Amino acid sequence: MPSPHVLIVDAGFYRDIADELVLGATEALTGAGATFERISVPGALEIPPAISFAALSDDPVFDAFVALGCVIRGETTHYDYVCGESARALMDLGVHEQLAIGNGVLTVENRDQAWARASRSEKNKGRDAAEAALALAKIAERFGAACVVPSKEGRAAQEVLPASPPLKHFIRCPCLISPHPVKS
């Protein structure tokens, strides 16, 4: 694989923790010879849609994605929903849309636990997520994984996905490996 191009999507709800995760990720990506871009979203629930939007873009094409953020338990059940739904959505994107995603969204009880995991001098989960994304991108390339791109009116699809929302209007193409769409 030539130098992979990676999108880092970070949730800025806990900006200081997110920034430390991003530093760990960017150091790992730079060390691996990857190029990268970074976008920020408000919270962990916004990471999966942002990755989905970027994956559907023709320019640029990303080989992998790094999801970074932090969810700290509060006094309500909101924590459980945010943790579960953001993790499930990232897994769904990886499995169903064949996207190489390194999940570095921390789910912790308090800020001390968050810092222990985010800190580059401790657990460095930003680095771990970037390394996971790169490893999955290599596996995707090896097996010819394909991502999902919007169909164009009048273009013949080689393979139409089952009609299940939200993918019923999409066709499969090898755009993670090659940025060229399926030709009619």
Annotated catalytic residues are 78
Evaluate whether 136 touches 101 at the Cβ level (below 8 Å): yes
Please provide residue 161's backbone torsions phi and psi, each rounded to the nearest 5 degrees. -70, 155
Alpha-carbon 10 to chain mean position: 10
9: Cβ contacts below 8 Å, ≥ 6 apart: 38, 39, 40, 41, 47, 50, 51, 54, 65, 66, 67, 68
44: Cβ contacts below 8 Å, ≥ 6 apart: 11, 13, 69, 70, 71, 82, 83, 86, 105
Evaluate whether 133 touches 99 at the Cβ level (below 8 Å): no
Tally of CB atoms within 10 A around 157: 14
